[in-house]
C-alpha cells in the first residue's frame, strides 16, 4: 500500500479515483491538485444549463461539498498548475517552482479544446470551463446571429440552446456531424432534427478562417462563401492537456498511453480520463474516452490499480447529450457494427437505432427514448465490448508490480493515436 497518492486534475476522473481510494481502504496521504479555482464540478453542465441560463446552484454544480473533502481527508489544492514531472525522483513540479512528492501519481488533467489559429480571431469562444460558460451565457441572450464551428456534442448542444432562444443559429462542420460516432444513417436523422428546429446546418463545409469585423465576425468558408456572425463558438474537438509532459519520461505531449489498468510506461504513474489514451479493442487504436461516464469509471478503475486490487467488471460505454429538447443517449458502440436498424418511436421524430455485428447487438442509440437504453444494457452486458472483434487480448496484469503491459506503446501511440 503506498503512503502518498497525488492526483493531478480536478475533473470527474480524479474525483472518482480519490473517492474509490478511500472507499477501498487507502488511508495514506491523498492530495488532489486542480488548476481551476472552482472545486471539482460537473463539467457536463458547461454546454447545457450553464449557458442556457437555467439556475444551477453550487450543490448541483460541485461534485461534492468542500466539507466532504475534509471528511475523506482529501487535501484539495485549487489554482495549482503542474508544469513538469520529475519521474526518477517521484516528484511533480508546480508553476510556482515547488515540488510535490508522490508514491503514486494519477494524471487526470483532462483535455483542452482544439484552438486552430485560423479560427481563433479575437473574441471567438471555446467551451471547457465554468468561466467559459459564464462568459457565453450573456452573449447568447444579447446577440442575434451565432455561428458554431464544429457539429460535435458541444457544438450541437450550444446550437440547441441558441435556437431555442430564437437566435439565428448556424453550425458549420467540415464533414457530417455524428457520422463517425453513429454512422451515416443516424447522423442524417439527427441533422434533419436540427434543421427542423431552425438550425442552419452546413455540412461538408470546412472553414478557412474567422475574421473579426468588429463588433461582428465574418466566417470564411473554404468554398468561398462568407457567413456573418455576432458570436462565434469553436467546438472542433479536444486534445489531452498534456503538453507539459512532453519533456518528461512519458514523452506524452498528445496524451498518456495506458494499459488496461491505467498504468503508464513510468513506474508509479497512472493516467485516467480524457488525458489517457486507452487501447480501443474495436479499432485497435489508442484514443481518449471523451465521455463523462467513461471518465468516472476510469477513475474508479485506476484507484483499484493503484492499490493492486481487482479491476471492476468492464461495462458497456454510455454517453448522453441534452439537445433538440430531448436526451440523445448511447450504450455500447456503433463502431464495428455491420448493420443498423432504426425503429421509430413516439412522439415523432424520436427513434431508436440498434447496431449489430454478425447478428449480435453491440450498441443502441436512442433519441428521446430513454427506456431503450436501460433495457439494452442488460443485453449488452452479456457480451461486453471488451471482447473486441478478434484482436489479441491484452496480457494479464502482474500483481503487485507496476508492469506496463505495452512496453512499446510510446512509439505505437505516435503512429496510431486517432488525433
Partner 1 sequence: MTIHVDIDRDLCIGSGTCVRLAPGVFALDEEEISVVVDPDAADISKLRLAAEACPTEAIRIGAPPGDARG
User: How far apart, in Å, are the Cα atoms of 33 and each of 11, 40, 41?
Assistant: 10, 10, 14
**Distance of alpha carbon 185 from alpha carbon 172, whole angstroms:** 19
Minimum CB distance to partner 1, residue 95 (Å):
30
Is residue 321 within 8 A of residue 305, CB to CB? The reply is no
Would you say 139 or 181 has its CB closer to partner 1?
Answer: 181
Q: H or E stretch including 410?
A: helix 409-416
Binding-site ranges for partner 1 (CB under 8 A):
16, 19, 42, 44, 59-60, 63-64, 292-293, 296, 300, 313, 315, 318, 320, 327, 329, 331, 370-371, 373-375, 377-378, 381
- Rounded-to-5 percentages of helix, strand, coil across the chain: 30, 30, 40
Minimum CB distance to partner 1, residue 142 (Å):
28
Q: How long is the chain? A: 419
Would you say 91 or 315 has its CB closer to partner 1?
Answer: 315
Would you say 29 or 327 has its CB closer to partner 1?
Answer: 327
Would you say 79 or 370 has its CB closer to partner 1?
Answer: 370
**Distance of alpha carbon 125 from alpha carbon 147, whole angstroms:** 11
C-alpha cell recorded at residue 397:
496484469
Minimum CB distance to partner 1, residue 324 (Å):
16
Minimum CB distance to partner 1, residue 318 (Å):
5
Minimum CB distance to partner 1, residue 375 (Å):
6
Contacts of 142 (CB under 8 A, 6+ apart): none
Establish how many alpha carbons lie within 13 A of residue 373's alpha carbon, considering only the half-sphere containing its beta carbon.
18
Would you say 60 or 185 has its CB closer to partner 1?
Answer: 60
Minimum CB distance to partner 1, residue 299 (Å):
11
Minimum CB distance to partner 1, residue 203 (Å):
28
Would you say 19 or 266 has its CB closer to partner 1?
Answer: 19
In which residue are the cell numbers 479536444 written? 238
Q: Which one, of 88, 110, 89, 98, lies nearest residue 9 by Cα? A: 110
Minimum CB distance to partner 1, residue 17 (Å):
12
Would you say 42 or 280 has its CB closer to partner 1?
Answer: 42
Tell me the H-state helices in 126-281: 130-142, 153-164, 179-182, 184-196
Would you say 72 or 412 has its CB closer to partner 1?
Answer: 72
Dihedrals phi, psi of 154, to nearest 5 degrees? -65, -50
Establish how many alpha carbons lie within 13 A of residue 49's alpha carbon, considering only the half-sphere containing its beta carbon.
11
Residue 78 burial (CB count, 10 A): 14
Amino acid at each position: 500500500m503506498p503512503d502518498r497518492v497525488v492526483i493531478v486534475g480536478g475533473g470527474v476522473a480524479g474525483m472518482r479515483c480519490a473517492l474509490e481510494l478511500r472507499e477501498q481502504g487507502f488511508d495514506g496521504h491523498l492530495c488532489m491538485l486542480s488548476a481551476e479555482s472552482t472545486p471539482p464540478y460537473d463539467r457536463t453542465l458547461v454546454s447545457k444549463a450553464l449557458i442556457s441560463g437555467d439556475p444551477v446552484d453550487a450543490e448541483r454544480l460541485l461534485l461534492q461539498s468542500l466539507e466532504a473533502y475534509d471528511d475523506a481527508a482529501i487535501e484539495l489544492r485549487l489554482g495549482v498548475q503542474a508544469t513538469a514531472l520529475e519521474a526518477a525522483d517521484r516528484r511533480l513540479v508546480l508553476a510556482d517552482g515547488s515540488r510535490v512528492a508522490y508514491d503514486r501519481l494519477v494524471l487526470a488533467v483532462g483535455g483542452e479544446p482544439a484552438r486552430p489559429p485560423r479560427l481563433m480571431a479575437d473574441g471567438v469562444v471555446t467551451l471547457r470551463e465554468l468561466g467559459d460558460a459564464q462568459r457565453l451565457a450573456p452573449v447568447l441572450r444579447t446577440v442575434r446571429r451565432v455561428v458554431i464551428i464544429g457539429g460535435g456534442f458541444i457544438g450541437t448542444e450550444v446550437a440547441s440552446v441558441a435556437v431555442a432562444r430564437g437566435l439565428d443559429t448556424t453550425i458549420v462542420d467540415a464533414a457530417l456531424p455524428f457520422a463517425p460516432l453513429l454512422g451515416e444513417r443516424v447522423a442524417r436523422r439527427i441533422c434533419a432534427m436540427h434543421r427542423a428546429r431552425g438550425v442552419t446546418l452546413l455540412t461538408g463545409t470546412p472553414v478557412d478562417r474567422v475574421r473579426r469585423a468588429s463588433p461582428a465576425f465574418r466566417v470564411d468558408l473554404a468554398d468561398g462563401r462568407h457567413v456573418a456572425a455576432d458570436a462565434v463558438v469553436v467546438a472542433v474537438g479536444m486534445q489531452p492537456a498534456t503538453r507539459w509532459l512532453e519533456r518528461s519520461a512519458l514523452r506524452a505531449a498528445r496524451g498518456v498511453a495506458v494499459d488496461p489498468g491505467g498504468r503508464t510506461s513510468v513506474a508509479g504513474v497512472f493516467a485516467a480520463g480524457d488525458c489517457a489514451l486507452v487501447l480501443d479493442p474495436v479499432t485497435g487504436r489508442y484514443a481518449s474516452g471523451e465521455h463523462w461516464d467513461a471518465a468516472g469509471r476510469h477513475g474508479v478503475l485506476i484507484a483499484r490499480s493503484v492499490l493492486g486490487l481487482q479491476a471492476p467488471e468492464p461495462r458497456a460505454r454510455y454517453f448522453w447529450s441534452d439537445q433538440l429538447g430531448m436526451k440523445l443517449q448511447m450504450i455500447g458502440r456503433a463502431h464495428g457494427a455491420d448493420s443498423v436498424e432504426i425503429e421509430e418511436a413516439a412522439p415523432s421524430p424520436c427513434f431508436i437505432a440498434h447496431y449489430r455485428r454478425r447478428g449480435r447487438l453491440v450498441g443502441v442509440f436512442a433519441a428521446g427514448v430513454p427506456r431503450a437504453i436501460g433495457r439494452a444494457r442488460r443485453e449488452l452486458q452479456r457480451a461486453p465490448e471488451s471482447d473486441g472483434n478478434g484482436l489479441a487480448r491484452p496480457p494479464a496484469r502482474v500483481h503487485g508490480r507496476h508492469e506496463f503491459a505495452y512496453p512499446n506503446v510510446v512509439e505505437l501511440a505516435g503512429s496510431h493515436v486517432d488525433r
